[in-house]
């Protein structure tokens, strides 16, 4: 009979824990040969970081030969397989040439500077994104560029619309350059018809430049050119100036065309965001990687002894059934199980007050004292009242020292109260009694992993596999730990270390530096305006991917979820910030700032309510230093318009209690609601501005968690707050 009060449930509590600082845990009694092997693995990884893949394979082969059939090597099988698989793949795989990943012909390409020159014909336009009347190129330009179109015969009036090249195309902007048609007919014997050359603004929907007498020569060979500079758009026909107009400085955007007719070639050259090409290259590499992994069989490349089934332990471990008990104090009677079922159901439904009254009314003949204490400990944990949970769990441990669930509750509570060393000691005592328990070893590894101590977690899982060599669960966990520790599988890694961030990427070092500087600015502001983080030697880990395909693969392998619709993600378990290379660098950096806030908040508040976590992240993602001053509070018109279309936000009491799954399922409306509520609490009427101040002040208390947010909100009249909230949003929408 299974209830919610299981080891799995308690393990989830730890997975949600944040801001832990675990003491280093080294394998007890490590042998010198084991240390030699680890030093050898470090040399293998050094060769991999340098991109010397054949040398890495050779070093790994020699290392395995020198330490053949040693238990400490077999215990690291998953790590060895991962290192071999990565090295073998990259030793056999060359980075694709740009011409192999796009339909156009790449005449010149410098991914570092963004300078490109690409030629298209009517036969290779697959790169362009098509709409009914427009073909738009996916590359976003960030500097001057030129579009040249050549053809054998310029269209005639009546053959179709005038040839048009679109430039500086952005979300709400762009310019269309129409080359027009010359006059046909003399106006006496035949009606005169012509179409002027024009430049039209998408934003204003007006003609911003026009020339009545076009240079076009229907039926003759032609060359059309549109040149985009920092402030001007100029059109040429057969190298002769046709017309021009000014444009907003810094606006370059995308280019496209419509109604070009039977042109012969189109050449675009200039400075573009390299993200488009980098993403295409990454996509091809990801497909090759998937095919390689599907065919890869480690036993065909590595020594057979590494895969020999593990022998049984020389000394039998403590009895696992002790760890499988659901309740302390021995086997419950059938009559007691009836009451336990009712208590477990109340806990599962989150009806904690009813559970408390139910337990207060129970006598020893219904539920004995030690089991009542355990149920109370679980209830306090559900409420995130960790001091009371710890007290009750210790009472259970005293009455039943072998009941593992209570020890795990003690470890969870002490971690959440900021005392991880105590938690690890409690867990160590339990492991000493049950060294053969894969559940307890798994719990220890997860505890270290959530603390951001991936190297120690790697050693701990290797030690666990020596204790429980036949555990499939621990081997799967070892794969996860290795992927978290080694980071993404990139052929070349660029990195930049700042005071608080370690940023890695397969793009270039410049983007690492840019992201680190942006994050340091935000970190400095968060410390000044929210709460200062205590000094910590750990740097925040950040990975920037050159393309979405690599990002999705790493998310799937390391996090268990591909996050298909995400531009970035922060994992509170692995303490890693993952962002992929969006076509618009500014949008990418906004995502970096957004996810970076989650990373910061994870250090100071465990289990933050989703509305607060996402609302603050969206609020701060547009903040920046302007002339040395941190500017916040940008009014997000797109959010206000979304809420208006949605007939306003849901009531405040619903926003603040929306579960994470429902929040993300109903995005983007929920993001708009969360931003609006945070903006209201920071810039609205004075009585509400103190709410977040009070909340942030309480974050400094030991063991601060998401429960304190609920306690602060219960002091408010949420119905009155909702009325003021809606009035505030109405005023914001009216202010232009």
Six-digit token string for 537: 């030697």
Please state at what angle helix 472-486 crosses helix 454-467, rounded to 10 degrees: 160
Residue 481 belongs to some domain of the structure: no
Of 235, 110, 103, 76, nearest to 164 by C-alpha is 235
Residue 418 belongs to some domain of the structure: yes
Of 17, 12, 46, 25, nearest to 575 by C-alpha is 17
- Cβ proximity of 362 and 346 under 8 Å: no
Phi and psi at 555, nearest 5°, equal -60, -45
Q: Is 270 helix (H, G, I), strand (E, B) or coil?
A: strand
Q: Same domain, yes or no, for 239 and 315?
A: no
Cα–Cα distances in Å, from 529 out to 104, 275, 696? 50, 34, 9
Q: Find the range with the poorest average confidence among 133-147, 398-412, 528-542.
A: 528-542
DSSP symbols for 504-557: EESS-HHHHHHHHHHHHHHHHHHHHHT-PPPP-SPPEEEEEESSHHHHHHHIII
- Cβ proximity of 685 and 728 under 8 Å: yes
* CA atoms of 570 and 596, how far apart (whole Å): 8
Instruction: Give per-residue pLDDT as tens, 1-12.
Output: 323 334 333 343
DSSP symbols for 376-442: HHHHHHHTT-HHHHHHHHHHHHHH-TT-HHHHHHHHHHHHHTT-HHHHHHHHHHHHHH-TT-HHHHH
Q: Please check the confidence at residue 397 and state whether its pLDDT lies above 70.
A: yes
Q: Same domain, yes or no, for 163 and 267?
A: yes
* CA atoms of 317 and 385, how far apart (whole Å): 35
- Cβ proximity of 507 and 578 under 8 Å: no
- Residue whose tokens read 């065909």: 300
More confident residue, 280 or 15: 280
317: left (phi over 0), alpha (psi -120 to 50) or beta: beta
What pLDDT was estimated at residue 310?
57
Average pLDDT of the residues in 339-354: 87
What pLDDT was estimated at residue 316?
45
What pLDDT was estimated at residue 308?
83
Alpha-carbon Rg of the chain, whole angstroms? 32
Which among 24-38, 55-69, 415-429 has the top mean pLDDT?
Answer: 55-69
Of 582, 558, 581, nearest to 570 by C-alpha is 558
Average pLDDT of the residues in 473-501: 87
Residue 478 belongs to some domain of the structure: no
Read off the DSSP letter of residue 606: B
Q: Same domain, yes or no, for 350 and 376?
A: yes
Instruction: Give per-residue pLDDT as tens, 605-650.
Output: 766 788 989 999 999 998 887 877 888 888 999 999 999 998 889 9
Q: How many CA atoms lie within 13 A of 576 on its CB side?
A: 23
Q: Same domain, yes or no, for 428 and 320?
A: yes
Read off the DSSP letter of residue 161: S
- Domain of 208 in residue numbering reads as 115-272
CA dihedral (367, 371, 373, 376) in degrees, to 10, reads: -80
pTM value is 0.77
What pLDDT was estimated at residue 445?
85
Residue 173 belongs to some domain of the structure: yes
- Residue whose tokens read 């339909």: 103
Q: Please check the confidence at residue 321 and state whether its pLDDT lies above 60.
A: no
Q: What percentage of residues in the chain have a pLDDT greater than 70?
A: 88
Cα–Cα distances in Å, from 380 out to 218, 384, 392, 644? 83, 6, 9, 41
Q: Find the range with the poorest average confidence among 109-123, 526-540, 656-670.
A: 526-540
Six-digit token string for 75: 């215990």
Read off the DSSP letter of residue 360: H
* CA atoms of 430 and 672, how far apart (whole Å): 47
Q: What percentage of residues in the chain have a pLDDT greater than 90?
A: 40
* CA atoms of 540 and 735, how far apart (whole Å): 39
Residue 479 belongs to some domain of the structure: no
Q: Same domain, yes or no, for 598 and 702?
A: no
* CA atoms of 379 and 9, how far apart (whole Å): 12
CB-based contacts of 397-403 (< 8 A; 24+ apart in sequence): 399/328, 399/329, 399/369, 399/370, 399/373, 400/328, 400/329, 400/370, 402/322, 402/433, 403/322, 403/325, 403/328, 403/329, 403/374
Instruction: Give per-residue pLDDT as tens, 38-94.
Output: 899 999 999 998 889 999 999 999 999 999 999 899 988 988 999 999 999 999 999
Q: Same domain, yes or no, for 513 and 638?
A: no
What pLDDT was estimated at residue 95?
86
What pLDDT was estimated at residue 564?
63
First to last CA, the chain: 62
Which of 434, 468, 502 is the endpoint of a domain?
468
Which of 407, 436, 468 is the endpoint of a domain?
468
Q: Same domain, yes or no, for 55 and 146?
A: no
Q: Same domain, yes or no, for 46 and 71?
A: yes
Q: Same domain, yes or no, for 301 and 314?
A: no
- Cβ proximity of 168 and 145 under 8 Å: no
What pLDDT was estimated at residue 27?
38
- Residue whose tokens read 């941190």: 630
Residue 559 belongs to some domain of the structure: yes
Cα–Cα distances in Å, from 109 out to 141, 143, 271? 14, 15, 10
Average pLDDT of the residues in 134-152: 94
Cα angle, residue 709 at apex, residues 642 and 417 outer, rounded to 5°: 135
Instruction: Give per-residue pLDDT as tens, 212-243.
Output: 878 888 889 999 999 999 999 999 999 999 99
Q: Find the range with the poorest average confidence among 92-101, 386-395, 558-567, 582-591.
A: 558-567
* CA atoms of 15 and 64, how far apart (whole Å): 34
Average pLDDT of the residues in 585-590: 84
Of 324, 359, 315, nearest to 468 by C-alpha is 315
Residue count (the chain): 736
Six-digit token string for 548: 């979405």
Q: Please check the confidence at residue 417 and state whether its pLDDT lies above 80.
A: no
What pLDDT was estimated at residue 686?
84
The enclosing domain of 546 has a CATH number of: 3.40.30.160
Residue 197 belongs to some domain of the structure: yes
What pLDDT was estimated at residue 563?
67
Six-digit token string for 87: 């090295």
Of 396, 381, 393, 392, nearest to 330 by C-alpha is 396
The enclosing domain of 347 has a CATH number of: 1.25.40.10
Of 174, 163, 173, nearest to 266 by C-alpha is 163
What pLDDT was estimated at residue 404?
84
Q: Find the range with the poorest average confidence among 6-10, 299-303, 332-336, 486-490.
A: 6-10
Q: Same domain, yes or no, for 253 and 297?
A: no
Residue 194 binned pLDDT confidence (cut-offs 50, 70, 90) = low
What pLDDT was estimated at residue 505?
94
Q: Same domain, yes or no, for 293 and 313?
A: no
What pLDDT was estimated at residue 265?
95
- Cβ proximity of 14 and 381 under 8 Å: no
Q: Same domain, yes or no, for 597 and 513?
A: yes
More confident residue, 286 or 316: 286
- Cβ proximity of 127 and 193 under 8 Å: no
The enclosing domain of 138 has a CATH number of: 2.60.120.200
Which among 62-71, 428-437, 594-603, 659-668 has the top mean pLDDT?
Answer: 62-71
Q: Please check the confidence at residue 704 and state whether its pLDDT lies above 60.
A: no
Phi and psi at 601, nearest 5°, equal -65, -30
Q: CB count, 10 Å around CB of 92?
A: 10
Read off the DSSP letter of residue 100: G
What pLDDT was estimated at residue 17?
36
What pLDDT was estimated at residue 19?
31
Six-digit token string for 715: 């002091």
Instruction: Give per-residue pLDDT as tens, 277-314.
Output: 999 999 999 999 999 999 999 999 999 999 986 555 55
* CA atoms of 380 and 390, how far apart (whole Å): 9
Residue 475 belongs to some domain of the structure: no
* Number of compact structural domains in the chain: 5
DSSP symbols for 227-238: EE-SSEEEEEET
Read off the DSSP letter of residue 139: P
What pLDDT was estimated at residue 430?
81
Q: Please check the confidence at residue 389 and state whether its pLDDT lies above 80.
A: yes
Average pLDDT of the residues in 414-430: 76
Q: Find the range with the poorest average confidence among 51-60, 498-507, 565-574.
A: 565-574
Of 50, 51, 80, nearest to 63 by C-alpha is 80
Residue 183 binned pLDDT confidence (cut-offs 50, 70, 90) = low
Which of 440, 468, 496 is the endpoint of a domain?
468
Bridge-based pairing of strands 494-497 and 501-505 is antiparallel
* CA atoms of 614 and 522, how far apart (whole Å): 16
* CA atoms of 558 and 575, how far apart (whole Å): 12
What pLDDT was estimated at residue 468?
84
Instruction: Give per-residue pLDDT as tens, 679-689.
Output: 999 999 888 88
What pLDDT was estimated at residue 702?
52
Q: Please check the confidence at residue 601 and state whether its pLDDT lies above 70.
A: yes
- Cα 93 to chain centroid, rounded: 27
Q: Find the range with the poorest average confidence among 24-38, 156-170, 232-246.
A: 24-38
Q: Please check the confidence at residue 485 and state whether its pLDDT lies above 90.
A: no
- Cβ proximity of 503 and 516 under 8 Å: yes
Q: Please check the confidence at residue 155 and state whether its pLDDT lies above 50.
A: yes
Average pLDDT, the chain: 84
Bridge-based pairing of strands 254-258 and 181-184 is unpaired
Q: Please check the confidence at residue 269 and state whether its pLDDT lies above 60.
A: yes
């Amino acid at each position: 009979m299974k209830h919610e009060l299981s080891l799995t449930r308690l393990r989830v509590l730890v997975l949600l824990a944040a801001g832990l600082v675990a003491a280093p845990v080294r394998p007890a009694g490590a042998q010198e040969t084991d240390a030699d092997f680890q030093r050898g693995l470090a040399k293998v990884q050094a060769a991999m970081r340098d991109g010397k893949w054949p040398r890495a394979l050779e070093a790994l082969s020699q290392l395995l030969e020198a330490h053949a059939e040693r238990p400490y090597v077999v215990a690291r099988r998953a790590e060895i397989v991962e290192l071999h698989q990565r090295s073998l793949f990259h030793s056999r795989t060359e980075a694709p040439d740009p011409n192999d990943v796009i339909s156009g012909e790449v005449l010149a390409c410098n991914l570092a500077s963004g300078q490109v020159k690409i030629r298209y014909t009517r036969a290779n336009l697959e790169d362009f994104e098509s709409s009914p009347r427009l073909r738009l190129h996916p590359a976003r330009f960030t500097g001057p560029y030129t579009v040249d179109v050549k053809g054998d015969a310029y269209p005639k009036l009546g053959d179709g619309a005038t040839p048009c090249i679109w430039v500086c195309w952005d979300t709400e902007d762009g310019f269309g350059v129409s080359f027009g048609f010359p006059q046909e007919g003399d106006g006496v014997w035949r009606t005169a018809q012509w179409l002027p050359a024009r430049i039209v603004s998408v934003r204003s929907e007006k003609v911003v430049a026009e020339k009545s007498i076009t240079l076009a020569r229907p039926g003759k060979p032609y060359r059309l050119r549109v040149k985009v500079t920092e402030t001007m758009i100029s059109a040429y026909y057969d190298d002769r100036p046709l017309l021009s107009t000014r444009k907003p400085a810094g606006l370059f955007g995308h280019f496209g065309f419509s109604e070009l007719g039977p042109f012969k070639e189109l050449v675009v050259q200039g400075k573009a965001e390299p993200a488009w090409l980098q993403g295409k290259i990454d996509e091809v590499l990801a497909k090759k990687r998937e095919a390689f992994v599907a065919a890869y069989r480690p036993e065909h490349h590595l020594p057979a002894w590494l895969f020999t089934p593990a022998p049984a332990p020389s000394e039998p471990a403590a009895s696992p059934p002790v760890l499988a008990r659901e309740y302390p104090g021995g086997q419950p009677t059938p009559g007691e199980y009836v009451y336990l079922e009712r208590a477990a159901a109340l806990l599962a439904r989150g009806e904690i007050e009813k559970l408390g009254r139910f337990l207060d009314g129970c006598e020893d003949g219904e539920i004995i004292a030690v089991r009542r204490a355990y149920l109370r400990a679980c209830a306090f944990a559900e409420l995130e009242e960790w001091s009371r949970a710890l007290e009750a769990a210790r009472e259970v441990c005293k009455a039943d020292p072998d009941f593992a669930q209570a020890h795990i509750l003690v470890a969870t509570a002490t971690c959440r109260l900021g005392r991880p060393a105590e938690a690890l000691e409690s867990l160590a005592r339990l492991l000493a009694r049950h060294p053969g328990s894969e559940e307890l070893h798994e719990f220890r590894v997860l505890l270290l992993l959530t603390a951001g101590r991936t190297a120690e977690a790697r050693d701990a899982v290797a030690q666990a596999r020596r204790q429980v060599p036949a555990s499939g669960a621990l081997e799967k966990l070892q794969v996860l730990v290795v992927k978290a520790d080694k980071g993404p599988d990139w052929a070349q890694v660029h990195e930049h270390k700042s005071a608080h961030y370690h940023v890695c990427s397969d793009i270039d070092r410049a983007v690492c530096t840019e992201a680190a500087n942006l994050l340091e600015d935000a970190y400095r502001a968060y410390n000044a305006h929210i709460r200062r983080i205590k000094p910590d030697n750990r740097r925040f880990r950040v990975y920037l991917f050159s393309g979405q395909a690599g990002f999705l693969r790493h998310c799937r392998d390391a996090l268990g979820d591909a996050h298909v619709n995400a531009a970035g993600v922060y994992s509170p378990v692995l303490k890693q910030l993952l962002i992929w290379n969006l076509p618009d660098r500014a949008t990418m950096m906004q995502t970096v700032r957004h996810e970076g806030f989650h990373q910061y908040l994870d250090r100071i508040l465990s289990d933050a309510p989703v509305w607060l976590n996402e609302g603050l992240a969206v609020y701060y993602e547009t903040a920046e230093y302007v002339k040395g001053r941190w500017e916040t509070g940008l009014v997000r018109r797109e959010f206000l318009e979304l809420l208006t279309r949605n007939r306003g936000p849901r009531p405040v009491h619903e926003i603040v209690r929306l579960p994470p799954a429902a929040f993300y399922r109903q995005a983007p409306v929920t993001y708009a609601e969360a931003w609006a509520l945070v903006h209201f609490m920071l810039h609205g009427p004075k009585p509400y501005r103190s709410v977040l101040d009070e909340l942030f002040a309480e974050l400094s208390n030991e063991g601060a968690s998401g429960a304190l947010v609920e306690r602060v909100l219960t002091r408010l009249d949420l119905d009155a707050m909702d009325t003021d909230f809606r009035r505030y949003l109405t005023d914001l929408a009216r202010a232009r």
